[in-house]
Chains A and B, each alone.
Chain A
């Protein structure tokens, strides 16, 4: 039978037997693959983004508590982890562009990657550590934005923890027509909201970056969330009015909600009685739009929702977070659409 003490600690890809500092149970990182190779077939990009790392951010919750978050900084660097915005800064490009996402990581301190979720590049540019490498230094992810739509990017190293810690940001591909059109041949919109709905289990948020990788039981199989957020804002109270989340529009305008399930639990989003036309999911147009008043999603799904209010009013949007066994509602977050 396989024993923990027999674990090979991996600090080099394919380098079985190379031992890092720390023991098998809890100390040191195991099964990581640090590297920063040259990008295969590198070309001059149409657009590029620089991302660094911060590991000491925090989010203020409505109950007065502060919860630690990690994320990506804009502009690269961030070697010391000097804090940053949550969610991480959006990547927004135009369909057809060649994109460079330059990620810089201080591999002596921690390892990370960027996986552009829903983007389907080569293995080396997919950002999954055990299929390629965890970035140690600077790596340029090169990819082509083939399909307009809503995506997000997140770290794919010890993902269960790193994505929970907040290492994600929106990724939007506009069609050649530009922002204001969802996709070529698709609907236009006047107002746009990006709602990345997530839940936090704050008991996970003091773990080290490599927690559990050597086999220690650190409880990462059991998510017991105590906070429920919309785009980084506590959905208990603040998201109802926070201008980064809540929408104000006129009745004559068309709203696009880019809804991202950025948590791990299933969610049910109710639009407060507003009718919603779903035109896309996961960056692909539906064969026919579907009209609904609520959507149920699972982790990492995206839905692009067009709303044309028929009446003025204040509509309360509720996201319910569902237990993965019972579907029981274990938390809610709310925001508003105010139609004038």
Chain B
């Protein structure tokens, strides 16, 4: 492998153009299916963690000079045809896979490939690198893929409960020892011991920390994770767990409507404050209703609350640093 300079991310200003910061998924329904063309560059680099450790990641990035981890999500409509071009800038072999829909097969180092496919079933999906499983996926080669029902702007699937805005949350468990093994081309041989827990590639900062409110570093403020709404702004959250750990997802201030698990609509919609998020590409689709917090007295319609995982080991970074784990903020504006 040719010696090369690794990209390094982690300082404000540099990261601002690197890590995905798209915010809400925007969507306007169409009467007719279209063809969507998208190019991803497989890149790599280091991301500095809150305790100072640089951790190696790879990503399906928007250019050869960036690291998008997770990838910028794709949103399409039933019937659309997608042409996805993967340009592998690394020396290692990778792939682009959506389970049940498309598998690029091997894309050798330095090579590129375009896959074309049509999407028929509405719902939430994950695209990822299936090779060298699970390591390439864990290393950051993953992103969300949403298929809207034909002609619909406000449903997960035809006839589902409705929403007015939507987000992708991709969660991961990061063992830096494994990531270093992946970087040097070895198969990780140590027991999986995650030390960082990420939502869309970031984790939480809190008041008093220099990176608090930094939208590139603080998952509580990053626009693609922070839930922002007024009362009535029902919000679909497509949660994809690429990590190896099963998790507990806990929402404050509202119960969510639990629409689907692992891509399958639930026969009944339960209202839950805490949900079981399966591991290894497990997923949940929920609607956060943005109702006035029901137990407030006097009643309120504004405030700031957390969504955090309740298996509280996830709320740490580097073995301590409680509050710097996998969480974001729910803002009732």
Contacts of B273 in A (CB 8 A): 117-118, 120, 282-283, 300
Measured CB to CB, the nearest residue on chain B to A301 is: B274
In the complex, per-residue mask of B228-272: 1 if CB is within 8 Å of any chain A CB, else 0: 000000000000000011111010111100000000000011111
The answer to whether A286 and B313 have CB atoms under 8 Å apart is no
Interface residues of A in 274-303 (CB under 8 A from B): 281-284, 286-288, 296-302
Say yes or no: A281 contacts B270, CB within 8 Å: yes
11 cross-chain CB contacts under 8 A: A2-B52, A8-B209, A43-B298, A117-B274, A212-B321, A215-B50, A217-B319, A264-B313, A265-B311, A287-B269, A287-B270
Which residues of B does A touch, CB under 8 Å? Answer: 10-11, 48, 50-52, 54, 192-195, 206-211, 244-248, 250, 252-255, 268-277, 279, 293-298, 300, 303-306, 310-313, 315-323, 329
Chain B residue numbers with a CB within 8 Å of A318 are none
For the complex of A and B, the 8 pairs showing the least CB-CB separation, nearest first, are A212-B320, A217-B319, A298-B248, A10-B208, A160-B312, A123-B303, A299-B248, A41-B298
A145 interfacial by beta-carbon distance below 8 Å:
yes
Tell me if A219 and B10 are in contact (CB < 8 A).
no
Tell me whether B318 and A217 are in contact (CB under 8 A): yes
Q: Which one of B194, B247, B268 contacts A298 once the chains associate, using CB atoms below 8 Å? A: B247
Instruction: Scan A183-194; emit 1 where CB is below 8 A from any B CB, else 0.
Output: 000000000000
Provide the bound-state CA to CA distance between A161 and B294, in Å. Answer: 29
Q: Is there an interface contact between B297 and A287, defined as CB atoms closer than 8 Å?
A: no
Residue of A nearest to B48 (CB): A1
Cβ–Cβ contact B297 & A143, under 8 A: yes
B295–A144 touching, CB < 8 Å? yes
In the complex, the answer to whether A296 meets B276 with C-beta atoms within 8 Å is yes
A-B contacts, CB under 8 A, total:
221
A301 vs B210: C-alpha distance when bound (angstroms): 34
Q: Are A298 and B311 also in contact (CB < 8 A) when A1-B48, A146-B294, A282-B273 are?
A: yes
- A222 engages B297 (CB within 8 Å): no
Q: Is the CB of A122 within 8 A of B303?
A: yes
Those of A170-227 within 8 Å (CB) of chain B: 211-223
A48-56, A124-132, A237-245, A307-315: which one contacts chain B? A124-132
- The verdict on A220 contacting B319 (CB below 8 Å), with A1-B48, A33-B207 known, is yes
Report Cα–Cα, A161/B320, bound state, in Å.
10
Q: How far is the CA of A263 from the CA of B6 in the complex (A)?
A: 41
Asked, given contacts A131-B305, A220-B320, A298-B310, whether A121 binds B297 with beta carbons under 8 Å apart, the answer is yes
Looking at the assembled complex, report how far the CB atom of A92 sits from the nearest CB atom of chain B, in whole angstroms.
16
Q: A2-B210, A8-B210, A16-B208 are in contact. Are A160 and B316 (CB under 8 A)?
A: yes
Q: Are B304 and A13 in contact (CB under 8 A)?
A: no
* Distance from A153 Cβ to chain B, minimum over Cβ atoms (Å): 12
Known interface pairs A143-B296, A324-B279, A325-B245; 17 further A-B residue pairs with C-beta atoms within 8 A, sorted by A's residue number: A2-B210, A31-B209, A33-B207, A116-B295, A117-B250, A117-B274, A119-B295, A120-B252, A120-B296, A160-B312, A161-B322, A211-B320, A212-B322, A217-B51, A221-B193, A298-B246, A324-B245
A158 partner, pick from B51, B298, B304, B322, beta carbons under 8 A: B322
Known: A120-B252, A264-B313, A300-B250. A325 touches B48 (CB 8 A): no
